[in-house]
């Protein structure tokens, strides 16, 4: 049986599009999609799987002769603040379950996403370096930082080929995000088209690092396809594309929909956003394995509005 690739968390914002992309590249028959939720339409085989269920993961991996895993199941920042214990357990145990399979050499390569949430209020906010103060103040950030340490530990101690990126906020039109602080930058497009107005849960000048999904998919598959000796950082790479505030994205949308209006009503997510960087220095990723982003705020907005308007027809 051919060696397969398993995506855990295939029903989420990244998972859904990543499965499609991997199927295009490697063929539907070589990909296994899995999620805790019942099957959504996937071009490849689907297995219902809970990332907390170590035995279930091992059985699925054995059944399909999986050698490569993308572990995307996680509780994001805002949801994890509501359920801190669950956030910690899911984000940590899920990772350790898969890392153990790497130690046992059942699988040979793992992608695990970290986040800009590993940084905290004492981190330099502009052009945040790869190596700097990291004192995350959210349970999500704490779990991602601990996860990074575990990834590096398994690499050094057991030679586990783990690859990771610190994702910024991700913007996409195929599958909505859920429970994140950067989700406003997706919601705003839907509301702009539906109602020409949006009430933002962050203040107008809250600048955060963001990225359009096609770039995020290229980065994710790019780091997995890179030769192992090019991957010098085994905790997680800083990754960047664009940075903007709600006011700036609103102005960009207004250039397409002149009647669009934005209002601001910051909620508990403001404190999370305030603890994160505004922009990221990702020169290590660019140097080591050739990372380069394509989309700007302007080209992303044109593309988002085009696809969302087409979907409405
Ligand atoms: C979130 O807002 O929680 C995520 C992230 C930046 O990791 N999008």
Q: Is 190 known to be catalytic?
A: no
Give the domain-ending residue among 198, 222, 238: 238
Q: What is the pLDDT of residue 4?
A: 97
For the domain that residue 19 is a member of, what is the CATH number?
3.40.50.720
Q: Is the pLDDT of residue 196 over 90?
A: yes
Residue tagged 């909620």 (tokens): 267
Residues 29 and 72 in one domain: yes
pTM for the full predicted model: 0.97
Domain count, the chain: 2
Residues 290 and 257 in one domain: yes
291: domain CATH number is: 3.90.25.10
Q: Are residues 104 and 204 in the same domain?
A: no
Domain span at residue 199 reads 170-210+241-312
The closest-lying atom of ligand 1 relative to the alpha carbon of residue 168 is: 6
Under the banding of pLDDT at 50, 70 and 90, the label for residue 78 is very high
200 DSSP β-pair partners: 264
Angstrom CA distances, 59 to 22, 110, 160, 291, stand at 22, 17, 20, 35
Residue written as tokens 């805002």? Answer: 78
Percent of the chain residues past pLDDT 90, beyond the cut: 96
pLDDT at 98: 98
Same domain, 30 and 156: yes
Question: Does 52 share its domain with 149?
Answer: yes
28 plus 95 within the same structural domain: yes
**Closest residue by Cα to residue 197 from 206, 207, 187, 205:** 187
211 pocket-lining for ligand 1 (C-beta < 6 Å): no
Q: Is residue 172 within 6 Å of ligand 1 at its C-beta?
A: no
Q: Does the beta carbon of 76 sit less than 6 angstroms from any atom of ligand 1?
A: yes
Confidence of residue 219 (pLDDT cuts 50, 70, 90): very high
Q: What is the pLDDT of residues 12-62, one digit of tens each?
A: 999 999 999 999 999 999 999 999 998 778 999 999 999 999 999 999 999
When computed from its CA atoms, the radius of gyration of the chain, rounded to whole angstroms, is: 19
Confidence of residue 172 (pLDDT cuts 50, 70, 90): very high
Spatial separation of the C-alpha atoms in residues 261 and 286, rounded to whole Å: 37
**List 140, 184, 212, 237, catalytic entry:** 140
* Statement to judge: residues 218 and 265 lie in one domain: no
Q: 2 CA to middle of ligand 1, Å?
A: 35
Does 127 lie in the same domain as 262?
Answer: no
> CA–CA separation, 222 vs 25, rounded Å?
12
Q: Are residues 303 and 252 in the same domain?
A: yes
Whether residues 189 and 264 share a domain: the answer is yes
* 222-238 residue pLDDT tens: 999 999 999 999 999 99
- Tell me, yes or no, whether 220 and 306 share the same domain: no
For residues 2 and 66, the answer to whether their CB atoms sit within 8 Å is no
Q: Give the tens place of pLDDT for each residue, 235-255.
A: 999 999 999 999 999 999 999
**260-263 CB contacts, 8 Å cutoff, 24+ apart:** 260/192, 260/196, 260/197, 260/198, 261/196, 261/197, 261/198, 262/188, 262/197, 262/198, 262/199, 262/200, 262/204, 263/197, 263/198, 263/199, 263/200
Separation between Cα atoms, residue 251 and residue 258, nearest integer Å: 9
Same structural domain for residues 279 and 224?
Answer: no
Q: Model confidence at 116, in pLDDT bands (50, 70, 90)? A: very high
Boundary of a domain, candidates 221, 238, 255: 238
Task: Tell whether ligand 1 has an atom less than 6 A from the beta carbon of residue 138.
Answer: no
Distance 117 CA to ligand 1 centre (A): 7
Residue 96 CA, ligand 1 centroid: distance in Å: 21
**Residue-wise pLDDT tens digits, 137-164:** 999 999 999 999 999 999 999 999 999 9
């Amino acid at each position: 049986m051919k060696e397969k690739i398993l995506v855990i968390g295939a029903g989420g914002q990244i998972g859904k599009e990543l499965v499609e992309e991997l199927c295009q590249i490697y063929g539907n028959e070589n990909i296994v999609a899995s999620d805790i939720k019942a099957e959504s339409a996937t071009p490849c085989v689907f297995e219902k799987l809970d990332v907390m269920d170590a035995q279930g993961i091992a059985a699925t991996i054995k059944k399909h002769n999986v050698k490569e895993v993308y572990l995307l199941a996680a509780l994001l920042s805002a949801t994890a603040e509501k359920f801190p214990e669950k956030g910690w357990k899911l984000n940590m145990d899920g990772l350790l379950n898969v890392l153990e399979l790497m130690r046992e050499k059942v699988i040979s390569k793992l992608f695990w996403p970290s986040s800009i949430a590993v940084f905290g209020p004492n981190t330099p906010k502009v052009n945040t370096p790869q190596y700097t103060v990291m004192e995350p103040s959210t349970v999500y950030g704490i779990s991602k930082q601990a996860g990074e340490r575990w990834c590096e530990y398994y690499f050094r101690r057991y030679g586990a080929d783990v690859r990771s990126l610190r994702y910024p906020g991700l913007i996409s039109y195929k599958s909505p995000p859920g429970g994140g602080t950067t989700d406003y930058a997706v919601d705003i497009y839907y509301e702009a088209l539906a109602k020409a107005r949006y009430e933002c849960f962050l203040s107008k000048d809250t600048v955060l690092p963001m990225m359009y999904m096609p770039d995020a998919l290229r980065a994710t598959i790019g780091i997995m396809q890179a030769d192992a000796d090019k991957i010098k950082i085994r905790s997680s790479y800083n990754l960047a594309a664009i940075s903007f505030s709600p006011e700036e994205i609103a102005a960009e949308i207004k250039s397409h929909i002149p009647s669009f209006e934005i209002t601001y009503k910051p909620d508990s997510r403001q404190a999370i956003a305030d603890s994160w960087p505004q922009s990221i220095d990702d020169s290590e990723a660019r140097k080591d394995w050739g990372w380069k982003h394509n989309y700007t705020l302007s080209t992303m907005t044109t593309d988002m509005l085009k696809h969302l308007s087409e979907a409405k027809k």
